[in-house]
Amino acid sequence: MPKQKMNQDWFKLDNSAKIFPSVSNSSETNTFRVTVSLTEEVNPENLQKAVDIILGRYPMFKVRLKKGLFWAYFDYNSKPFIVQKMGHQICSEIIPIENNGYLFKVLYHHKDISIEMFHSLADGGGVMQLLKSLVYEYLLLEGKSVTPDNIIATKKDKPEFEEYEDANAKYYNKKNRKHIPEEKAYRIKGTYLDADQTGLISGILKTKQMLDLARKNDMTITEYLTTVMMFTIYKTQIQYREHIKANEKPIKIFVPVNLRKHFPSKTLRNFTNFIKTNMRMDKPDISFDEIKALVKEQFAKGIQKDELIRKMSENVAFEKNIFLRMTPYFLKNYVLKIGFNMLGIKLNTMSLTNIGRTVFPDSMKPYIYDVGATIYAGKFNTIGCAIVSYEDQFKITFSRSIIETQIEREFFRHLTSEGLDIEIESNYVEEYS
């Protein structure tokens, strides 16, 4: 019996991971994608070999989801992982049974290598690290002379316990876990695309221009883009229609925060929280500066350590509730589903996630020309936006589950009016039939 030596071969789901298996379905897939574009065509055989190597290094991804009596858990998966050719579907539901039980996919298309990950298993930061390691091993197999330079974890490093710890529980504070009720958010409406279709539009900007523009406004890039997003939604959806009842709800942008930057942790699993901007658009003449001031204030408030710990502890406290813990899993599933549909999803207008700067070792840079990220767009949050930058390429990717492209159009037109050069990519979902 071939036996792999591993410290641990099953994992409890971490705090944020627990909700996703219960609330995910074909439209709310809770999947996201990160892509690295190489300078040459991808060789699927070597990619397959690289994935096999990488899974030995990251045992926490070589798992399947199983149900226990009280909670689901990740169990060691003995089946082989198979890389797939990219299809038209973007961030589609990951159906474990079609995927040998794995909760992520590795896809290739011409020069692109993508990982589509179910959010239960890891967050953007964790997957970026996995993708970097994968590309590194792939380039090695292709015969390129690349070095890890302490940026990339290679097959020679040993997996560490810290990489799969539940960091949320580590920073749990019993005294600071107050639940603050929220009201429902404004929802962007539109004509739905078919269930298996997602519209994609990405804009490629120059990082330097983007940074200068944000600095000129005395903001970080994320703050600035959130402001533009709120202003765009206001302009295209609400302005002069504030009196309509549906438009009275506040626009709320959900901005994930990578907690690794605020609390020391090396975990690859979910360790993100969020800042939420919140503004009721009840006037016909709201200016950009007005939104700017508010976003700045809400970001400053949301990023405070106390507030972040409160939000973390609020979630962990929910999981520690003795009644919920003792409920059998199949009942819990319903509880979580109902709770999430009533509360969770309707509290956001959309998500805007900034994965940030991707750093590769100098030796790898000649082989990589682009990095991208995409989040899923569901029935309620019809538009999603993911941002990632690599060297001088700054990529903003919109995914949508509706046909209309007003918001993308006005968003990019706002940026071009500020003097930015933009190149657009799209998957031309309009032509699907």
**423 near another protein, rule: CB under 8 A:** yes
For 401, phi then psi, to 5°, come to -105, 10
Here's the x/- map for another protein, 82-101, by CB under 8 A: it reads as: ---xxxx-x------xx---
Binding to another protein in span 180-239, by CB under 8 A: 196-197, 200-201, 203
Compute how many residues bind another protein; rule: CB under 8 A. Answer: 51
**416 near another protein, rule: CB under 8 A:** yes
Closest contact distance (angstroms) between CB of 120 and another protein is 16
What does each C-alpha distance from 157 to 127, 148, 284, 310 come to in angstroms? 17, 11, 58, 35
**431 near another protein, rule: CB under 8 A:** yes
Closest contact distance (angstroms) between CB of 426 and another protein is 3
Q: Measured in Å, how far apart are the chain's first and last C-alpha atoms?
A: 50
**244 near another protein, rule: CB under 8 A:** no
Here's the x/- map for another protein, 288-327, by CB under 8 A: it reads as: -------------------------------------xx-
Closest contact distance (angstroms) between CB of 69 and another protein is 5
Closest contact distance (angstroms) between CB of 60 and another protein is 15
Closest contact distance (angstroms) between CB of 342 and another protein is 25
Q: Give the interface segment with another protein, choosing from 63-71, 159-167, 307-315, 347-355 (CB under 8 A).
A: 63-71
**76 near another protein, rule: CB under 8 A:** yes
| From candidates 25, 79, 149, 300, binder to another protein by CB under 8 A | 79
Q: Which residues bind another protein (CB under 8 A)?
A: 1-2, 10, 12, 66, 68-71, 73, 75-76, 78-79, 85-88, 90, 97-98, 109-112, 196-197, 200-201, 203, 325-326, 405, 408-409, 412-413, 416-417, 421-428, 430-433
